[in-house]
């Protein structure tokens, strides 16, 4: 492909508007590589964050057009107003995972205020994977990024230091992972007794893993290999180790995408190649 033709090619952009953050990934339609990405907290102003993203795309790729799909808990009404395609976030996530991994058993994704688990099955004849089931806890922030924020507040430490603190923990205490309020009730007496903050941070990670596994699997087998995604699992690698320990995963059973915090945004972009292609118009302006 000539340079001139390459520069005229329409790019694929996926925008994931979550409960606490907005993510964007621009994909090269030919190679599938990420050309541009951004991950930031929107502080409850989702519209402003999307306006920022769209302006950033125009600045980084002047004159280029985009096929754009939106996903995430806060995206659908905004996508409708902008007349952009929308894909459900679990479907977007599955698209990205199937593109990356020819073999995958389960995916665990933790967001700011929700957690999801996707169960895959493999077709023995075609050796391709498809989604068999999915679970999501959208009614409570237990076992999510918001839970980590709450415990960091109780421990009076910056949330950015939580992972490093947990890495120093040596003892695990029984803390509720179902609700931040219950967890605080468990933690405060332990603090008063002089229990090390390092151990409480590690215990909080175990509470998250226990809550996610018990609350979402609900009798379904968590088959290996297991992919770990989302901001809390990206920025807290000790949490991934805790999940692996509780699930008895070998190192080869753990899948960590190169950009786990962008997987849903990437999936929205990838989906434009097939299921959403006919519903989309290039941005900014223009027609197919």
Please report the pLDDT score of residue 285 as a whole number: 41
Q: Which residues, given as ranges, of the chain have pLDDT below 70?
A: 1-8, 138-141, 180, 274-288
Tracing tokens 């951004």 back to the chain, one arrives at: 38
At residue 180, what are phi and psi to the nearest 5 degrees?
-65, -35
Please report the pLDDT score of residue 253 as a whole number: 97
Please report the pLDDT score of residue 102 as a whole number: 86
Indicate the DSSP class of residue 229. E
Residues 6+ apart with CB under 8 A from 60: 26, 36
In angstroms, the CA 57 to CA 64 distance is 9
Q: How far apart are the first and last CA of the chain?
A: 20
Query: Within 10 Å of residue 67's Cβ, how many Cβ atoms?
Result: 25
Query: Within 10 Å of residue 240's Cβ, how many Cβ atoms?
Result: 21
* pTM of the full structure: 0.84
pLDDT in tens, 87-106: 998 899 999 999 899 899 99
Tracing tokens 């190679």 back to the chain, one arrives at: 31
């Amino acid at each position: 492909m000539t340079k001139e033709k390459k520069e005229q090619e329409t790019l694929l952009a996926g925008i994931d508007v979550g409960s606490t953050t907005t993510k964007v990934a621009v994909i090269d339609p030919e190679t599938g590589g990420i050309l541009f990405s951004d991950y930031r907290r929107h502080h409850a102003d989702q519209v402003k964050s999307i306006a920022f993203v769209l302006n950033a795309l125009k600045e980084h790729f002047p004159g280029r057009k985009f096929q754009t799909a939106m996903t995430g808990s806060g995206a659908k009404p905004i996508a409708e107003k902008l007349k952009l395609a929308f894909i459900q976030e679990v479907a977007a996530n599955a698209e990205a995972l199937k593109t990356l991994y020819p073999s995958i058993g389960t995916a665990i994704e933790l967001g700011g205020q929700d957690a999801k688990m996707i169960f895959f099955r493999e077709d023995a004849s075609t050796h391709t994977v498809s989604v068999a089931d999915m679970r999501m806890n959208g009614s409570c922030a237990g076992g999510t990024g918001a839970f980590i924020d709450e415990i960091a507040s109780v421990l009076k430490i910056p949330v950015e230091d939580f992972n490093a603190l947990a890495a120093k923990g040596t003892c695990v205490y029984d803390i509720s992972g179902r609700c931040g309020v219950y967890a605080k009730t468990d933690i405060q007496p332990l603090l008063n007794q002089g229990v090390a903050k390092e151990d409480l941070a590690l215990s909080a990670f175990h509470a998250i893993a226990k809550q996610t596994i018990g609350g979402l699997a609900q009798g379904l087998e968590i088959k290996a290999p297991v992919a770990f995604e989302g901001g809390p699992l990206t920025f807290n690698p000790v949490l991934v180790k805790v999940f692996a320990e509780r699930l008895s995963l070998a190192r080869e059973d753990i899948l960590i995408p190169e950009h786990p915090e962008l997987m849903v945004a990437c999936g929205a972009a990838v989906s434009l190649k097939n299921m959403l292609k006919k519903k989309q118009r290039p941005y900014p302006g223009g027609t197919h």
